[in-house]
Structure 1
Amino acid sequence: MAERRVFLSLGSNLGNRSAYLEAACRELAAHPKIRLLRRSSLYETEPVGYRDQGWFLNQVVEVATTLAPLELLHVLQGIENRLGRKRLIRWGPRVIDLDVLLFGDLVLKTPELIIPHPRMYERSFVLVPLQEIAPDLIHPDGRTTREHAEELQEKGEGGEIRLCRG
């Protein structure tokens, strides 16, 4: 498979959140078929869905990979497992969460994986860091990251988000 640009969302709200995000990035960069290209700043965000939990640290990264989409998903799940992710409550607390947001211009819907991520356009914790590293990226719907982020902001939706300093 030819190398594709892929955007991933990383999140953590248990333990040393920034250390878990850093460990996930190290594992991605160490994979022989993945090149880590860019990382957004870290953002602190309120939980979505299940609200009785701590705030998340979130980040978006851009990678280049020759893996197929489902192969990449399985790599991400392996990283989550190695870092101690437990899947107890849907949208519940977790040491690490890794999601495929965009995979080149691919549109995919399988029982295991949907690309673009089905809720990415509803979430500030995805669109704000994605806009930081790829504001002019054209999504499969023909709109840019900036346009999606502005629309979410105009609606006043997407959840509270704060840039982490230092």
Structure 2
Amino acid sequence: MARAFIGLGGNLGDARQTLEAAIARLADHPDLALTGRSAFYRTAPWGVLSQPDFVNAAVSVDTALAPHALLDLLLATERAFGRVRDGERWGPRTLDLDLLLHGAAAIHDERLEIPHPRMAQRAFVLLPLADIDPSLDIPGQGRVADLLETLDTHGCVRLSQA
């Protein structure tokens, strides 16, 4: 078993409802055991700024799935919620699921990079992770709480309790 951390986000339709439903779907999966969940945060868009604000969250799960198998499950879950990957980066989406960490795995291939390479620079990832485990060490990047202290979080608004 490995502890994995998954970032969730969306900004089309009722994003909070979509994230709630996606978390429930992951929690019901026989190969995942939900071990933690963050609050929801409203955050400004990243990259492409002319789009609605996002709702972001994170969950932790224990899983026996290998990293690529978990990635496949996350991609299938996105598709089930209407996500279309058309090659546009940082654009609007119904649901985005990012595999941030998978145990101690370090993978850098054409399909998957974990630890997620840019998570230490993104308050919309670190704030939810801090709800789950502020002392979490991101290999090669540092502890979540320490990394969060270096970022501007003023554009991130907590919408609910964890």
Distance 2:123 2:98 in 1: 15
Alignment of 1:91-110 (within 5 A): 91-110=90-109
Across the aligned residues of Structure 1 and Structure 2, the Cα RMSD in angstroms comes to 1.5
Distance 2:120 2:154 in 1: 12
Shift of 1:159: 7.4
* Residue of 41, 44, 57 corresponding to 1:43: 41
Match of 2:70 in 1: 72
- Give unpaired runs (5+ residues) of structure 2: none
4+ long deviations beyond 3 Å: none
- Secondary structure in structure 2 of the residue aligned to 1:151: coil
Match of 2:116 in 1: 117
* Residue of 7, 30, 55 corresponding to 1:9: 7
Q: Percent identity?
A: 43
Amino acid across the alignment from 2:97: L
On the 8 A contact 2:6/2:60 being kept in 1, the answer is: yes
- Provide, for residues 108-137 of structure 1, a one-character-per-residue CA deviation record: whole Å limited to 9, x for no partner: 101100001111011000011111211111
On the 8 A contact 2:42/2:54 being kept in 1, the answer is: yes
C-alpha distance 14-71 of structure 1, shift in aligned 2 (>3 A): same
Amino acid across the alignment from 1:160: G
C-alpha distance 159-105 of structure 1, shift in aligned 2 (>3 A): farther
Distance 1:73 1:165 in 2: 27
Amino acid across the alignment from 2:76: G
Shift of 1:165: 4.3
Match of 2:156 in 1: 161
**How many residue pairs align between the two structures?**
160
- Secondary structure in structure 1 of the residue aligned to 2:71: helix
Shift of 1:6: 0.6
On the 8 A contact 1:45/1:159 being kept in 2, the answer is: no
Match of 2:143 in 1: 144
Amino acid across the alignment from 1:132: D
Q: TM-score, normalised by structure 2?
A: 0.93
Shift of 1:86: 1.6
